[in-house]
Amino acid sequence: MTNPWEIDSVHLIIRLFLSVLLGGLIGFERERKNHAAGLRTHTLVCLGSCLIMMLSMYGFADFVNEPNVRLDPARLAAQVITGVGFLGAGTILFTGKSITGLTTAASVWVVMAIGLTIGAGFYLPAIVSVIMVLLILWGLNIVEKKFVNSRSDCSFSITTAGGVLQIDDVQRLLNAHGVKLVKVRFEESEVTLDDPDARRRRITMSVVLPGKGQLLEVANDISRLQGVIGIVVE
C-alpha cells in the first residue's frame, strides 16, 4: 500500500495542469459573455484551490511521525471555501431594480470546488462537474431566455392634456398587444385657468410585456393616442 502522505512530481504537475484546463473552460464561457470574472479569474481560482489542496494533503508529510502532531488534510481546503466567498461577492452588482453577477459568483465558487477536487486526486468527478457546469451555463441560459425571462416588467408615465385621453383607450391598446396592467396611478395638475386644455394629467402604469422587443412598439402606439403629449418608459 502506498503512503497516503506522499505523491510524485508527475502527478503534482498533472493535477496543476488539469486544474488550469478545467477552470479555463468555465472561465472562457464567462469571458465570452463579458462577465466581471472571466477566463483568468476562473483559471486562477481553480489553480489556487488545487495547489492549496495538495499543500494541505502532502505539504506537511515530514511532520507525520513527529510526536504530538496531528495532521488534518482538509484543514487548509476548508479555509478556501470561506475565502472564495469574498471573491464571488465582488462580482455581484446591484443595478437599481435588479441584482446581477449571481451566476458568475456561483461559477467562481464551483470552480473553487473543482480545483479542490482535482488537488485531492478525484479526476473523474472534476471532469464530469465541468461538463455539467458548461451544460448549465449554456443550456439553461437558452431555456431561461425562452421560457422564464421572456417577459419584461416596466412602467409607462403618460402625460395628457385637456382630459381628452380615456384610460379605456389605453387599456384596449394594452390588451391588443397582450400587455398585462399591474398598477395605475393618476396625478392631476392644479391650475386656476378655465381653459380645460391647460389641465395636465399624468398616468403612471406598471405593466408586464410579453416580450422585451415590444417595448418601443407599445410606447409608440400610446404616444399616438389623442391627448397624449408625452410618454416616459422606465
Query: For 43-82, b where at least 16 C-beta lie within 10 A, e where not — what string?
Result: bbbbbbbbbbbbebbbebeeeeeeeeeeeebeebbeebee
120, 192: one domain: no
144, 33: one domain: yes
Domain coverage including residue 122? 9-148
Q: Is residue 140 part of a domain?
A: yes
* DSSP H or E run through 162: none
Q: What is the mean pLDDT of residues 38-64?
A: 86
Q: What is the mean pLDDT of residues 225-234?
A: 80
84-93, 147-156, 193-202, range with greatest mean pLDDT: 84-93
pLDDT digits (tens, 9 = 90+) for 126-168: 999 999 999 988 888 777 766 665 567 777 888 887 666 677 7
Residue 165's pLDDT is what?
Answer: 67
Residue 82's pLDDT is what?
Answer: 80
Neighbours of 30 (CB within 10 A): 22
Residue 1's pLDDT is what?
Answer: 41
Q: What is the mean pLDDT of residues 16-27?
A: 93
What is the total count of domains within the chain?
2
pLDDT mean across residues, the chain: 80
Q: How far apart (Å, rounded) are the C-alpha atoms in residues 74 and 57?
A: 7
The percentage of the chain sitting over the pLDDT mark of 70, rounded to a whole number, equals 83
Q: Is residue 1 part of a domain?
A: no
From residue 221, alpha-carbon distances to 2, 151, 215 in Å are: 77, 19, 10
Q: What is the mean pLDDT of residues 215-222?
A: 81
78, 134: one domain: yes
57, 40: one domain: yes
pTM: 0.64
Q: What is the Cα 46 distance to its own chain's centre?
A: 20
From 85, 120, 148, give the residue that closes a domain.
148
* DSSP H or E run through 54: helix 39-58
From 148, 169, 200, give the residue that closes a domain.
148
* DSSP H or E run through 181: strand 180-188
Q: Is residue 4 part of a domain?
A: no
Q: What is the band of 189 on the pLDDT scale with cuts at 50, 70, 90?
A: low
129, 158: one domain: no
21, 131: one domain: yes
